[in-house]
């Protein structure tokens, strides 16, 4: 299955590629990272070792009801980084639960005027998809500072660094993304092409019904979950189904579902049943990969870029950066 970019969406904009020596803005748009200082500092050291110059946002270490500062402060940090001509890219410290309150406080016009590599995972699903949908600017679902670059597992860090560099530092298609955890699990065979979208299922579901939910018609959708009971996965998938969002995908790639399906004898079978139930009547390919999700080494997914989903995995068919 192949899909063109839906009519009416902003023209896709690729941010400039990252280069050694670039300044990277480090922001905390979600959870407070005061309790993760060791991880954050370790991640900053890794970024510096790659030749980047990390610059912390003013409120990166703030604490307010479990979040990294008040909503207006977290949004202001991110808006400042996009507006600062000295900042070439932006990476979130970690996820959490603070992105939804600030999704309507971003300066989308300024982001479109000054596109930059913006990378994060988990709760950042909300901002990444909103930015790409509202502006056309490619965003990046991939390692954050604390849990990606700051992982205490050097093997995982090296995998994530290589995948990040291949997508954000080279203005050429990355091709088939690594499958270091093993071949994809195939739920439904086939091949589909479309712009990448998605990330964390819960966070994407929180955008449903808002002006920030991405247009998934013809999309190559990626979904992962964390800490969800079977009932929660069922509800979120049916939320997407009832909104018509699962009916016209080009393909679906599932990631990992860490700490999900508690009490189920066979979590994989449960996930398969739920996904096939909510996509009944469609024909696009459905696979599962182990390189997207929580507590695993992540590939970097450029949301908005054309990708192919097949039994081989996820392949990027165009450059993510200029």
Considering the domain architecture, whether residues 191 and 248 belong to the same structural domain is answered as: yes
Q: CATH code at 96?
A: 3.40.50.10740
Considering the domain architecture, whether residues 128 and 204 belong to the same structural domain is answered as: no
Structural domain ending residue among the three candidates 126, 143, 168: 168
Considering the domain architecture, whether residues 49 and 162 belong to the same structural domain is answered as: yes
Structural domain ending residue among the three candidates 145, 168, 191: 168
* Whole-number Å distance between alpha carbons of 157 and 161: 6
Considering the domain architecture, whether residues 30 and 93 belong to the same structural domain is answered as: yes
Q: CATH code at 282?
A: 3.50.30.60
Torsion of CA 12, 16, 17, 22, to 10 degrees: -150
Considering the domain architecture, whether residues 180 and 211 belong to the same structural domain is answered as: yes
Say what the pLDDT of residue 9 is.
64
Number of alpha helices (DSSP H) and beta strands (DSSP E) in the chain: 8, 14
Considering the domain architecture, whether residues 138 and 198 belong to the same structural domain is answered as: no
Say what the pLDDT of residue 122 is.
98
Say what the pLDDT of residue 6 is.
44
Structural domain ending residue among the three candidates 133, 168, 203: 168
* Whole-number Å distance between alpha carbons of 54 and 38: 16
Radius of gyration of the chain (CA): 18
Residue 11, in any domain of the structure: no
The three-point CA angle 105-109-111 to 5° equals: 80
* Whole-number Å distance between alpha carbons of 100 and 111: 18
Considering the domain architecture, whether residues 158 and 185 belong to the same structural domain is answered as: no
Say what the pLDDT of residue 8 is.
56
Q: Name the pTM for this structure.
A: 0.96
Considering the domain architecture, whether residues 45 and 118 belong to the same structural domain is answered as: yes
Number of domains in the chain: 2
Residues 6 or more apart in contact with residue 186 via CB below 8 angstroms: 285, 286, 287, 311
pLDDT along the chain (322 residues), means of 10: 52 97 98 97 98 98 97 98 98 98 98 98 98 98 98 97 98 97 97 98 98 97 98 98 97 98 97 98 98 97 98 98 98
Residue 113 domain boundaries: 23-168
Considering the domain architecture, whether residues 250 and 277 belong to the same structural domain is answered as: yes
């Amino acid at each position: 299955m192949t899909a063109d970019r839906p009519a009416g969406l902003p023209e896709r904009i690729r941010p400039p590629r990252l280069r050694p020596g670039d300044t990277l803005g480090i922001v905390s748009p979600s959870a407070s990272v005061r309790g993760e200082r060791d991880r954050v500092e370790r991640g900053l050291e890794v970024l510096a070792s790659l030749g980047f110059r990390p610059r912390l946002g003013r409120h990166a270490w703030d604490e307010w009801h479990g979040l990294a500062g008040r909503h207006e402060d977290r949004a202001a940090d991110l808006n400042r980084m996009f507006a600062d001509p000295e900042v070439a890219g932006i990476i979130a410290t970690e996820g959490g639960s603070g992105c939804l309150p600030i999704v309507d406080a971003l300066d989308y016009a300024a982001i479109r005027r000054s596109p930059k590599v913006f990378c994060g995972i988990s709760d950042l699903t909300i901002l990444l998809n909103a930015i790409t949908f509202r502006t056309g600017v490619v965003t990046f679902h991939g390692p954050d500072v604390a849990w990606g670059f700051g992982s205490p597992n050097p093997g995982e860090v090296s995998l994530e660094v290589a995948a990040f560099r291949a997508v954000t530092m080279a203005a050429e298609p990355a091709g088939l993304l690594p499958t270091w955890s093993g071949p994809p699990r195939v739920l439904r065979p086939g091949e589909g092409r479309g712009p990448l979208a998605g990330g964390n299922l819960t966070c994407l579901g929180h955008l449903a019904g808002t002006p920030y939910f991405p247009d998934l018609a013809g999309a190559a959708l990626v979904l992962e979950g964390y800490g969800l009971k079977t009932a929660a996965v069922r509800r979120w998938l049916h939320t997407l189904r009832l909104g018509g969002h699962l009916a016209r995908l080009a393909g679906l790639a599932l990631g990992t579902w860490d700490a999900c399906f508690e009490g189920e004898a066979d979590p994989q079978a449960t996930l398969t049943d739920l996904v096939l139930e909510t996509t009944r009547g469609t024909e696009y390919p459905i696979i599962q990969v182990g390189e997207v999700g929580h507590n695993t080494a992540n590939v970097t997914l450029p949301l908005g870029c054309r990708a192919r989903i097949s039994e081989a995995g996820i392949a990027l068919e165009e450059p993510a950066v200029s």
